[in-house]
Structure 1
Amino acid sequence: MALEKLGENLYLYPGSPSTLIKIGDRTVIADPGHGSKRHKELRRELRKLGVEIGYMLATHGHADHLAIAPKLKKPLFIHRYEFSIAESPLNRELLTFGSKAPKGFLVYQFPQEVKVYGVFEWGDELFGLRTIELPGHSPGMTGFFDEENAVLYAGDSFFGERVIQSVGLPYLVEPDLFKESIKRLMEYAEEGLLLIPSHGKAVKGENATNLLELNLKRVEEGEEKILELLREARSVSELSYALAKEFEAKITPQILALNQVPIRAMIASLYNRDLIEPVVEKDLKWKTKS
């Protein structure tokens, strides 16, 4: 894989997630990623440009976005809400899976601690990039905005079409915040910015708007289908399987388990709106209110 030039001193190294590279007085990379060879690949591509990594940024603390950070041995900055998630392998699993995950069950489990050098707030300027508030996927989900090149690296605040088709539901921990972030991104799309999801192709203009609408629609459809399915009392695991079938997603133990996280978040939202209620039928189940 080769670097993609996005603008003046701005590059993208492809992958899932992709890595943003901003060259300046000290070169910074956002979301170094994962993989046994990725740290070597990043260094190799940067050597071609005659620069070395100075600092690292992370959009959030999920393992697939920063697994190679310890190998790069450069200062890492992350939003303060993500600090403990990034530094603790157990906290990463708790946020991603909902509890300690079975060994080898999650693709991106890794035991190393990730040392965070500093935390930032939304709206801060770091190494020529402005931090943008985009929570919902995780508590401190952050985008990095390069005003000079009109580029916004948006992390997992939205997903590419192939990802959504594969998993069925966008992964999120708070549906209302996720939807608010999508609407915020739509404003940036209307301004003509190039929007880059960590998992998917960069999009601009009508393509960006259409992809954002797909993400928003899928969350709203998920909530609507849960209400329909809960005309009959169902557990979270039963909902996960039924929704995967509805959206024609891949049905694997990992996807069904991970989809239970956004489903539980949607159930909390629906319950708080007094639309569903818990029932006990040999298991904790949920049902729409009559």
Structure 2
Amino acid sequence: MEWKQMPVGPVQANAGLLWNEKNEALLIDPGAEGGRIKRKIEKLELKPIAILLTHAHFDHIGAVDLMRETYKIPVYIHQYEEKWLSDASLNGSKLFPVVENVEGKPADHLIDREGEMTIGSFTFEVLETPGHSPGSVSFYFKEAAIVFSGDALFAGSIGRTDLPGGNQKQLLDSIHNRLLELPEQTIVASGHGPVTTIEQEMVGNPFLNGFSL
């Protein structure tokens, strides 16, 4: 299993691709620059089969409809953010004058629980990691030893909690009880910035130091 991230859009959110030996691919958080993402998919000769969304803030969903229509694939999002894809006030695009309002189509499938999920030949674990937003989830691929954490956990930082539905205590609980329970060598592919590992964040993340266990 292979993977790649590419920063897209005005706030450089990471769009993710993860694919198998058959070149079937999952597209994670296509936030903007759909044409550029499409060119990368074509260059790698991938066949996308689904779009996974860690959450529905505008910088992670801006190219969803283009990717869905181009490849005729379904979109998955947590049920708590079911309405966010089509509501610029909820997804935050209305709050930022530097971006156009993002108002897309509803998701095809709603995630209503954490645990194992299978899409095509991919089997992975959905971890509910709210706090940055109510329906934030992380996708853990054990075989590839990687978790796509969205905006829950970053290299040396954590997600902001000052947007609607944000809750810092809930976010810290999510990180501690879900993400930090993963094997220490697990790669953390965050929604912004460079990759890190669970071990690096356990040891050196100043936002997690001193969090009561």
Amino acid at match of 1:123: G
2: distance between equivalents of 1:70 and 1:53? Answer: 14
> What's the counterpart of residue 242 of structure 1?
none
Q: Structure 1-normalised TM-score?
A: 0.59
Q: Structure 2-normalised TM-score?
A: 0.79
> What's the counterpart of residue 208 of structure 1?
201
CA apart distance, 1:199: 1.0
Q: Number of aligned residue pairs: give it.
A: 195
2: distance between equivalents of 1:27 and 1:205? Answer: 24
Stretches of structure 1 that go unaligned for 5 or more consecutive residues are 1-7, 221-290
Q: 1:201 to 1:179 in 2, by over 3 A?
A: same
1: distance between equivalents of 2:188 and 2:201? Answer: 7
Matched, 1:178 2:171: yes
CA apart distance, 1:154: 0.4
Stretches of structure 2 that go unaligned for 5 or more consecutive residues are none
Matches within 5 A, 1:85-100: 85-93=84-92
> What's the counterpart of residue 19 of structure 2?
23
Identity, % of aligned positions? 23
> What's the counterpart of residue 185 of structure 2?
192
1: distance between equivalents of 2:105 and 2:116? Answer: 22
Matches within 5 A, 1:1-290: 8-15=1-8, 16-24=12-20, 26-34=24-32, 38-72=33-67, 73=69, 74-93=73-92, 101=95, 105-120=96-111, 121-127=113-119, 128=122, 129-161=124-156, 170-172=160-162, 173-184=166-177, 185-188=179-182, 190-204=183-197, 206-211=199-204, 213-216=205-208
Aligned Cα root-mean-square deviation (Å): 2.7
CA apart distance, 1:218: 10
2: distance between equivalents of 1:218 and 1:146? Answer: 28
CA apart distance, 1:76: 1.1
2: distance between equivalents of 1:107 and 1:114? Answer: 22
CA contact (8 A) 2:88 2:103 kept: yes
CA contact (8 A) 2:7 2:192 kept: no
2: distance between equivalents of 1:57 and 1:143? Answer: 10
CA apart distance, 1:219: 9.5
1: distance between equivalents of 2:169 and 2:185? Answer: 25
CA apart distance, 1:20: 1.9
2: distance between equivalents of 1:205 and 1:89? Answer: 33
Amino acid at match of 2:89: L
2: distance between equivalents of 1:142 and 1:131? Answer: 7
Deviations 1:67-121 (A, max 9, x none): 111222242110111111123223323xx8xxx64xxx44444243233111113
CA contact (8 A) 2:18 2:27 kept: yes
CA contact (8 A) 2:184 2:197 kept: no
Q: 1:143 to 1:125 in 2, by over 3 A?
A: same
2: distance between equivalents of 1:52 and 1:23? Answer: 9
Q: Which has the larger radius of gyration?
A: 1
CA apart distance, 1:12: 2.4
CA contact (8 A) 1:152 1:195 kept: yes
2: distance between equivalents of 1:110 and 1:208? Answer: 34
CA apart distance, 1:138: 0.5
2: distance between equivalents of 1:218 and 1:86? Answer: 36
Q: Which has the higher helix share?
A: 1
CA contact (8 A) 1:195 1:208 kept: no
